Structure 1
Amino acid sequence: MTCCVSCWSAPPFNGSSEGVKHSSSPLSPGTHTITVPHGAAHVEQRYHVAGSGPVCIAHSGGPGIGWEYLRMPALESSLTMVYIEPVGTGASGRLPDSRDYSVTTYARLLHHVVEHLKLPEVTLLGHSHGGFVAQRYALDHPARLAALVLYDTSPVADEQFWSAAVAAMQRFVDRHVDDHPEVAGYVAALTARLDLLDDDGTTAILRKIMPAYLFDYWGREEEFAPARQSLRMYAAPTRGEGAPFDVRDALPGVTTPALVLAGRQDFICGPRWARLLHEAMPAAELSIFEDTGHLAHIERPEQFSAAVLAFLRGQGVLGSRQNL
């Protein structure tokens, strides 16, 4: 199973043509491609820059979901957003051995981007599985972070975590199956072996169950349905091997100022897991969005951006010349 998220339409992305390699500033608006080492091999890592202000790197979820859903135009008016296009997805490169896709690998690839930006500190925002990567990065490279935003994520993804997600999905089905019979297959889709599928198969599952990730999909279907068809998921990152993610014991050592965000109705990374993060990290703040699922930046964009920007102002990241 994987920590799925949905992909979303976003404003046009200037300079995001396929294959563009910038020779100018690493923070020039548009798409950038760098080549980073992975063992004896090298892999292309893409990232996308939009906005102005202090730098915030955003790592999307999955693993295997296209980065585009995490576009945050409301933050781009105050921050220079650097959106990672995770290796294994889109036009970024692919690892030679798909067993190597792991949180540790993604944190290492992220560090190559941070180094490439040539900034002493950045803000790091991780959503869902991207939040796993952000936690790992905060543990490995605390000196490189001015602030941390952990958004709809968890400090652990063990059997108990997945059992809770399946139970919550079943409750979603029970609530909606009479009016929307198609949800009857959602639990089977959530528990499918994605690692046995190809890109089209994983994409089909993601599109199928996307309504469960939103608080009121059918109430806003006219708004959300077209974007549902733009979802894309890539199979290779789901084939990574290793122990289940669990950094609970290490989190008390994370002293980076952190904002933990969760949607009250997020069935997979909701308040239960957000509270574990908040309680474990000594410099963490917690904000829960009401009537919101797994995608507050889409469901409640103004409330989401206000929470993030207020936190960064409180930490002195905004209103200073840091990262400019």
Structure 2
Amino acid sequence: MANFTSFDGTVLHYESIGDGPPLVLVPGGPRAAGYLEDLGGLSASRRLIRYDARGTGASARPDDPSTYAYPTLARDVEALRDHLGLERLDLLGHSAGSVVASAYAAAHPARIARLVLVSPSPQLYGKGGDDVGDILATRTDAPWHAEVGAAAGELLSLPPDAAPERVFDVLDRYTPAAYGRWDERQRAHAATQREQFALAAWAGFWAGTDPGWLDGLATLPAPVLVLTGEKDALTGVRIGDVVTAGLAHGRHVTIPGAGHYPWVDEPAAFVAAVNEFLS
């Protein structure tokens, strides 16, 4: 476990897990990076460098809350790269972390060796995610289906200043749909959600941002792997095609049986897909 100081003096926490070539992990949420675990055993072949985004986990809260916006979080990635002394990065972003990783790649294309985007967020692209309802419709036999349907409408209508308890209540009720199945393993992983999410960072993630930089990804020289889970009723599968359509060297792979956290649902398939791409 260690710390590094970002461009504005905010001290951020990170840790290295496993052996092998380094792979920097950008967490989603914003959520403390512990939920990434060792990505289903990927640490057996890679040295995973996972950090807590500003305002989450063991990292400090910034003095300026406007720095929770994702373009600033991309600047934290550059500060970490410099701290580690790495000329180029293999970089993996999950969910909202894929937005941060993409913004970093667009700003620093020469610093990216390979980029992995797992369960990317449709909100950045203004499309994608429209298949979430179709995915939910295939799971009507799940005991949580009716509750998830009710929570979905509330999740979309939550105001920015909603009380934390209300936000977490809605998230908890919708969460089963984010996994490929709802067994003991998935429930244990989901149980960490409340303590790891930082609502202030979440509320500021999109504030005042302009996705005009997305055009820069079209000329990114590095190869990009976009991974989605077949049963992901949080961000869907179609978003993978949307993302790769805007990349010069992108490939979309969908993991059967997996949800939004494919290393939890289908760890062997997830590790195999990432290792094949990075090798």
Q: 2:160 aligns with which of 185, 195, 217?
A: 195
* Alpha-carbon distance in 2 for matches of 1:247, 1:225: 37
What secondary structure, in the 3-state scheme, does the structure 2 residue paired with 1:149 have? strand
Count of residue pairs the alignment pairs up = 273
SS at match of 1:287: strand
Partner Cα separation in structure 2 for residue 204 and residue 46 of structure 1: 28
**What are the within-5 Å matches in structure 2 for residues 284-299 of structure 1?**
284-299=250-265
Q: What TM-score do you get using the length of structure 2 for normalisation? A: 0.87
Classify 1:114/1:199 alpha carbon distance in 2 versus 1 (closer, same or farther; 3 Å): farther
Q: For the residues of structure 1 that align with 2:142 and 2:100, how far apart are their CA atoms?
A: 38
Secondary structure of the residue aligned to 2:41 is helix
**1:259 corresponds to 2:221:** no
Instruction: Report the CA distance between 1:184 and its aligned residue.
Output: 4.5
Question: Unaligned 5+ residue runs, structure 1?
Answer: 1-30, 314-324
Verify: 1:85 aligned to 2:52, yes or no. yes
Q: Is the 8 A contact 1:189 1:209 kept in 2?
A: no
Quote the residue 2:80 is aligned against: 113
| TM-score, normalised via structure 1 length | 0.76
Aligned equivalents of 1:171, 1:53: Cα separation in 2: 37
Within 5 Å, which residues of 2 pair with 1:152-171?
Answer: 152-154=119-121, 157=124, 160=127, 164=130, 168=132
Please tell me whether residue 228 in structure 1 is matched to residue 195 in structure 2: no
What residue is the counterpart of 1:319 in the other structure?
none
The answer on whether the counterparts of 1:55 and 1:123 sit within 8 Å (CA) in structure 2 is yes
Partner residue of 1:239?
Answer: 203
3-state SS, counterpart of residue 241 of structure 2? helix
Equivalent pair of 1:98/1:239 in contact (CA under 8 Å): no
Measure, in 1, the Cα distance between the counterparts of 2:58 and 2:164.
14
Alignment of 1:197-216 (within 5 A): 197=162, 200-216=165-181
Say yes or no: does 1:275 pair with 2:268. Answer: no
| Aligned counterparts of 1:203 and 1:32: Cα–Cα separation in 2 | 30
Secondary structure of residue in 2 paired with 1:86: coil
Which stretches in structure 2 are left out of the alignment for 5+ residues?
Answer: none
With over 3 angstroms needed to count, the CA separation of the structure-2 counterparts of 1:171 and 1:282, relative to structure 1, is closer
228-237 vs 106-115, greater mean Cα deviation:
228-237
- Whether the 8 Å contact between 2:23 and 2:49 is mirrored in structure 1 is yes
CA distance in 1, matches of 2:248, 2:48: 26
2:10 is paired with a residue of what secondary structure? strand
The match for 1:17 is: none
Q: Greater helix share, 1 or 2?
A: 2
1:47 and 1:298 map into 2 onto residues whose CA distance is 21
Structure number with greater Rg is 1
1:311 aligns with 2:277: yes
Alpha-carbon offset, residue 60 of structure 1 = 1.0
**Deviates most, 292-301 or 246-255:** 246-255
Give the AA of the match of 2:171: L
- Write the distance in 1 (CA, Å) between the matches of 2:269 and 2:138: 29
Cα deviation code 1:121-180 (max 9, x no counterpart): 120000111001111111111222211111111475365557x37xx3597389548843
Instruction: Determine the structure 1 residue equivalent to 2:4.
Output: 34
Cα 1:177–1:309 change in 2 (3 A) is: closer
- Find the residue that maps to 1:250 and give its secondary structure: helix
Give the secondary structure class of the aligned counterpart of 1:196.
coil
2 CA distance for matches of 1:305 and 1:118?
26
**What are the equivalent positions in structure 2 for 1:97-136 lying under 5 Å apart?**
97-136=64-103
243-252 or 50-59: bigger deviation? 243-252
Cα 1:161–1:276 change in 2 (3 A) is closer
Q: Percent identity?
A: 28
Residue deviations 1:93-133 (CA, integer Å, cap 9, x gap): 11223233111010001110010000111200001110011
8 Å CA contact 1:54–1:80 kept in 2: the answer is: yes
1:230 partner letter: T
Partner SS for 2:160: helix
